[in-house]
Amino acid sequence: MSEAASSEATAVAAATSSQDPELGLAAVAALRGLVEVLEALQVENARAKGWSWQQIAARLGVTKQAVHHKYAGRRFGFRRS
């Protein structure tokens, strides 16, 4: 089955935008995964360049408490300074 079925899945994925919930929802989940990485990357970058939580929050359109709660004091890369 594998190869034929796999290319079939590809064809289905290419042909559908969001009418099929199976694919539409999976695409949204993939997009969310990408967004979370991009956000973490940009926040870390901004902090390294000396931006305040206030400034970052304003660009992200959330409160400074929200972005601070999400990213401050983390073990990996993110410094509390």
Partner 1 sequence: MADRFSGPVGRVMDLAREEADRFGHRHVGPEHLVLGLLRDGSNQAASILRARGLDLAGARAALGRLADRGVVPGPRPSDAELLGTLGIDLEAIGRDLEQSFGIQALQNATREATRARRGGVGRVPRTPLEGPAVLTTQATWLASRRAEALGYDAVSPELLLLGVLEDVRTPWPRCMSNPWVRQLKASVGLPDSYRGAAGALLTALGVDLEELGDAVSAALGAPVS
- Interface residue with partner 1 among 21, 33, 58, 60 (CB under 8 A) is 33
Q: Which 3-state string (H, E, C) describes the chain? A: CHHHHHHHHHHHHHHCCCCCHHHHHHHHHHHHHHHHHHHHHHHHHHHHCCCCHHHHHHHHCCCHHHHHHHHCCCCCCCCCC
Nearer to partner 1, 6 or 63 (CB): 6
Tell me how far, at minimum, the Cβ of 67 lies from partner 1, in Å.
Answer: 13
The residue ranges that bind partner 1 (CB under 8 A) are 1-3, 5-6, 8-10, 12-14, 16-18, 23, 26-27, 29-34, 36-41, 44-45, 71, 74, 76-78
